[in-house]
Amino acid sequence: MKITDKGILFYGTIETTAAGGGDPLCREPIPCCTFKIGGPADVFARPETEEQLCRVIALCKACDVKYYLLGNGSNILFEDGGYRGVVVDTTALKMGIGFLENVSHPGAEPGAVYDAVIAGAGLKLSALCKAALDSSLTGLEFAYGIPGTVGGAVYMNAGAYKYCMADVFVSARVLDDDLNVITLSKEDMEFSYRHSVLQKHPNWIILDATFEMTAKDPGEIRKVLDKRKERRMSTQPWNFACAGSVFRNPEEKPAWRYIDEAGLRGYEIGGAQVSPKHSNFIVNNGYASAKDILDLIRLVEKTVYEKFGVKLHKEVILVNWD
């Protein structure tokens, strides 16, 4: 590997055990977030196995090249100039879903058993919810419609309807800074509102997670999922490129109410707009730059603080911004 002013050049290939062989490193610039804006990465890596993932990370470390771990690209805003380094896409990791029946764990009450779902970190959260439905398991209905992957949801302790990932989480296998596989329990994760211990260790990589579920009539589960989907479709601007909720909800009332009361519903900067449908969403109207989005986020933060003395905290993660 050599670093030049034109970016990162890879000499040779990284061997792969994937079917058909090939190089897990893609040299094409690829935009990386659900806002559908932001510049390209110097290198975009899409490993398909844990072994490939370890090789890509080890190579970056050996060559002192920074890297960023990417799931579905929701809750992310890349700078217009792109990412100077390697973006590692985890969504292609072939780790699937597994089911266990009548199991226990150290944190359970004596004699208590449950059904468990083990899901790869790169799996879309919506796919996990559907798989649980197909297996007549309840517990993840709240997560249906939340954008992103299992790994991202655990990392952020994503939630909705007063529930969150911590409510069903049992454990996760994680790759640490030294590329050792460790297992983190619910206690180890230090969950709180939209927070986990993983945010203190940005280079740790979730490989898979285990969730506690219980059996239930699939017809009842489907009714809840359909209701959640209908509500999201009617109240949120999913026909526009966006990252979901931009701000965490303060304790007093939802962030969207503060934004509404500040008179910012529908406010625009360039091609970025506070959604007329839901004020805690900022959408790309088709011609926004990443700077437009960030400028609008900062204007909302400033206006709400000046009017109400409330500091809104972003859920959106800013990548490669000075």
| C-beta of residue 145 within 8 angstroms of C-beta of residue 232 | yes
Name the one residue in this structure whose structure tokens are 């954008």. 147
Name the one residue in this structure whose structure tokens are 């610039």. 29
Provide the terminal-to-terminal Cα distance of the chain, rounded to the nearest Å.
26
| C-beta of residue 197 within 8 angstroms of C-beta of residue 189 | yes
Q: Which amino acid is at 108?
A: A
- Chain-centre distance for alpha carbon 164: 14
Q: State the Cα–Cα distance between residues 200 and 244, nearest whole angstrom.
A: 23
The residues that are catalytic are: 194, 245, 315
Query: 16 forms bridges with which residues in the sheet?
Result: none
In angstroms, what is the C-alpha Rg of the chain?
20
Closest CA to 42 of 321, 320, 322: 320
Q: State the Cα–Cα distance between residues 9 and 284, nearest whole angstrom.
A: 32
Tokens linked to 306: 């000046």
Q: State the Cα–Cα distance between residues 258 and 150, nearest whole angstrom.
A: 30
| C-beta of residue 284 within 8 angstroms of C-beta of residue 36 | yes
Query: 181 forms bridges with which residues in the sheet?
Result: 175
**Residue 84 CB-half CA count within 13 A:** 10
Closest CA to 123 of 84, 85, 153, 150: 150
Closest CA to 88 of 39, 123, 55: 55
Angle between helices 218-235 and 125-134 (to 10 degrees): 150
